[in-house]
Amino acid sequence: MNAMTSPCPNWISAEERAFIRNSSPKQIRRVSNLTFAEFEQIVNAGEPIVVSDGMKDWPGLGSLNCQSFFSKYPDAEYFDWQGQVITPLKDINKRKSYKGLECAAGYIDVRTPTNAKYIQDWVNQVRAPYFLSEDVYTREPFANASHPNMNFFIGTKNTGVSPHLDETCDTFMTAQFSSVKNWSLSWPIKEEGELRWSNPIVFTLYPGELLFWFVGMRHHTEVLEDCSLSFSFQITMPAPRDYFHKLTQNIHSVSETDREKFFKQTYVSNLDFLDSCNIIEKDGQSFITASLEPVT
C-alpha cells in the first residue's frame, strides 16, 4: 500500500491513505467448494468473503479483458472518472492530455439506451455462481430480466477509487475478469458509545474470484497492474439479517448530529438511506430491498 507514483491525478487524499494503512490484522476469508447453506450463514453475519472458484465455467473468464471488450463493443458508452465525461470505448485512447490508456478509469452503466443493446451479450458472458440459483440476477420483484443490476468497471495501473460508501441496500458481488486489484472494506462499529469505522480489511482480488460485501460498507479499490476489467452485480438474497440488524441498531443509537458527522467521512448525500432498507420474506426466502411496502 505504498504511496503511488503515477502520472495520473491524485485520486486519494493523505487522510484516506492513512485510513487504509491503518488496516486490520484480520484477513478476508477465502473459500471454495461452497454450498448455499454455508453461503447463507456467511451472508447472515455480514462477513465479506472471496470465493476463489466462484467464476468457474463462466464463458467470459480467460477471454474477456479490457482489449477484447474495447474491440467487441466499440460503441459502448464509458464514463471516464478523470475527465468526468461519457465517451464511446473506441475513443478511450483519445482522451485529452493522456497517451493511450494512461490513467483510464471509469465505468459502464448497462442501463443507458446506447449500452442496453449489448445487455444480452454481456449477460451471456457470466453464469450464476454455482452455489446460487440460476435466477439470482433477474428474480422478480427485485430485478428485471432485461435490465439486471450489473455494471462494469475499467481501470489501468495506478488508478482507483477512494474510500466511499454506496447508498444502496443490496448485497454486492464483484467478479474480477482481468488484472489484479487491491480492495479495502470496513463497516460501522460502536465503541465507548461512539460510532467509528472498523479498521479496514485490505486484500487483493485476482482473476476468476468473486467478492461479496454488504450494505453500509466503506470501500476503496486500486489497480495494481495492466488493465482491470470487473463486473459488479447487486443481489438481494439471501439477506444479511444479523449484520443488518446490528448495523441499523448502531446507526440509530447515536444522535442525528453524530450520525451526520460519521457519514460525512464517506461523502454520503442521503444520511437516512438505511431507513429505506428492509428485510422481507417471500417464497420461503429472505431478501433485502429498498422497498418500503411489504411484498406479497
For residues 51 and 34, the answer to whether their CB atoms sit within 8 Å is yes
Residue 194 contacts residue 152 (beta carbons within 8 Å): no
Beta-strand pair 49-51/29-31: parallel
With a CB cutoff of 8 Å and minimum separation 6, the contacts of 72 are none
Of the pLDDT bands very low, low, confident and very high (cuts 50, 70, 90), residue 146 is low
Grid cell 482522451 is found at 95
Q: What φ, ψ does residue 160 adopt, rounded to 5°? A: 180, -170
For residue 19, pLDDT over 90 is answered with yes
pLDDT in tens, 157-175: 989 999 999 999 999 999 9
- Write the pLDDT tens digit of every residue in 33-59: 999 999 999 999 999 999 999 999 999
Is 148:119 a contact under the CB 8 Å cutoff? yes
- In tens, the pLDDT along 246-293 reads 999 999 999 989 988 898 888 888 878 888 999 988 878 888 888 644
Spatial contact of 278 and 289, defined as CB atoms under 8 Å apart: yes
Structurally, at CATH architecture level, domain 37-289 sits in: Sandwich (2.60)
The domain segmentation of the chain, as residue ranges, is: 37-289
- Residue 102 CB-density burial (10 A; 0-12 exposed, 13-18 middle, 19+ buried): middle
The answer, yes or no, to whether the previous bond of 141 is cis (omega within 30 of 0) is yes
Cell 440476477 found at = 137
Please give the grid coordinates belonging to residue 151.
Answer: 455494471
Helix axes 36-45, 241-251, angle to 10 degrees: 10
Please give the Cα distance from 111 to 266 (Å, whole number): 26
Confidence class for position 295, pLDDT limits 50, 70, 90: very low
Stretch among 31-40, 112-121, 146-155 having the lowest mean pLDDT: 146-155
Report residue 6's pLDDT band, with 50, 70 and 90 as the boundaries.
low
Mean pLDDT is lowest, of 83-92, 94-103, 202-211, for 94-103
Which residues, 6 or more positions from 93, have their beta carbon under 8 angstroms from its beta carbon?
100, 101
